[in-house]
Amino acid sequence: MAYYAKISNDEFTVSERARLMEARDEKGAIEANNMASAEYEALKTQLESLSTSAELERINNEIITAPIDADLTSLYADQKTEQNRLNEERTAVGVQMSTKKAEGTEALTAEITALNTSIANALCRVTNMYSGADEIVMVPGDSSSINAQIFALEESKKNIDSSLSEEENLAELIIIQNSINTLQSEKYAIPQVEFDNTVYWEGYYGGCKRTSYNTRGGVHQLGGTPFRKNYAGVGYIYDPVRDAFYGQQPFASWILNEDTCYWAAPVAKPEGMDWYWKEDTTEWVDYIYINPDNNQPYPSWTWDTTNGGWVPPVEKPSGPFYRWDEENQQWI
């Protein structure tokens, strides 16, 4: 059984996707304007006129009206030459039309390419986990050398001396066929080999990446080959540049270890006792310290680093029907 992580980079590419749509619309508007120009229309008319020519029509007519026993070799050669000439001219005009259509879109085209690359390389969020088909399948071993020998023997049947008698010819064929049969037996005896079918199954499940249940910190716990650094989970990050899974960055100052894809504090944790990370001073402290979240309800409220939670500057009176008035710094 294999495991697959459903991934999406939507939350990390909001601005890029919005700009990509704008850039495509802008490019499309320029192209439409170019295609409506007199120059483009003239090229279009020229292209249509090159579907045939008076010379080609003349040649075709001569071929059609020629006697049944006539030698048409020269006419067919002339026909091919004229067709090639028309194809070359059509290609040249087509290039001119494409150039005219793209006129003035060079910067937008480069921007669109850059945006697509940025989106493809953006971080992804794991949104779901699936168990699925094993990625390893058994396939026939390499038989290319034997196939080449069989092909050569089949071809040799065509080169048997035509002056041989029927019996001699048949004997030669039997010898060749026996050799082919021997090679076929060798081919079928080739042991099967393992084939990693990960790419197929990732596409089959749609928007998924395979993840290794036994891989932790870049090490396979059972001695196998580690895969994508860490076993994924919902909420994890998939990094397409590193081709790795890792957890959400716990603090802005923490750094991703490239070998393990674990987040590490910029300062090593001291030995012994319980230590707590204090992000505002980027240090380990020996007292309970809970770092603030990003959900401060009002500017005046402060974070309780011991118990966690945002605290108003004025204690809330007992009773349920109170709301905080930030302007006057009071409960009403």
Structure tokens at 226: 């580690």
Whether the per-residue pLDDT at 132 is higher than 90: the answer is no
Identify each DSSP E strand in 120-279 by its residue range.
Answer: 124-132, 136-139, 193-196, 208-211, 215-216, 219-220, 237-239, 244-246, 255-256, 263-264, 276-278
- With CA atoms as reference, report the closest residue to 249 among 277, 221, 286, 275: 277
Phi, psi of 231 (to 5 degrees): -70, 130
With cut-offs at 50, 70 and 90, classify the pLDDT of residue 1: confident
> What integer pLDDT is reported at residue 133 of this predicted model?
85
Average pLDDT, integer, range 12-39: 98
| Single-letter amino acid code for the residue at 60 | N
Q: What is the DSSP string of 145-173?
A: HHHHHHHHHHHHGGGS-TTS-HHHHHHHH
CB 261 within 8 A of CB 254: no
* Position 135 confidence tier, pLDDT thresholds 50, 70, 90: confident
Q: What rounded mean pLDDT belongs to the chain?
A: 95
pLDDT at 137 over 90: no
**For 53-80, what is each residue's pLDDT tens digit?**
999 999 999 999 999 899 999 999 999 9
The pLDDT tens digits of the residues spanning 180-197 come to 999 999 999 999 998 888
pLDDT digits (tens, 9 = 90+) for 278-318: 999 999 999 999 999 989 999 999 999 999 999 999 999 99
Mean per-residue pLDDT for 223-250? 97
Range scoring the smallest mean pLDDT among 48-52, 75-79, 319-323: 319-323
The residue-averaged pLDDT of 210-214 equals 96
The pLDDT of residue 94 is 97
DSSP secondary structure string, 283-323?
EEESS------S--SSTT-EE-TTT-SEE-SSPPPSSS---
Q: In whole angstroms, how far apart are CA 291 and each of 76, 160, 296?
A: 85, 87, 12
Task: Give yes or no for a contact between 212 and 226, defined as CB atoms under 8 angstroms apart.
Answer: yes
The whole-number pLDDT of residue 257 equals: 98
Q: Which pTM was predicted?
A: 0.73
pLDDT greater than 90 at residue 272:
no
- Asked whether 198 and 212 are in contact (CB, 8 A), the reply is no
Residue 244 has pLDDT above 90, yes or no: yes
Q: Using pLDDT thresholds of 50, 70 and 90, give the confidence band for residue 161.
A: confident
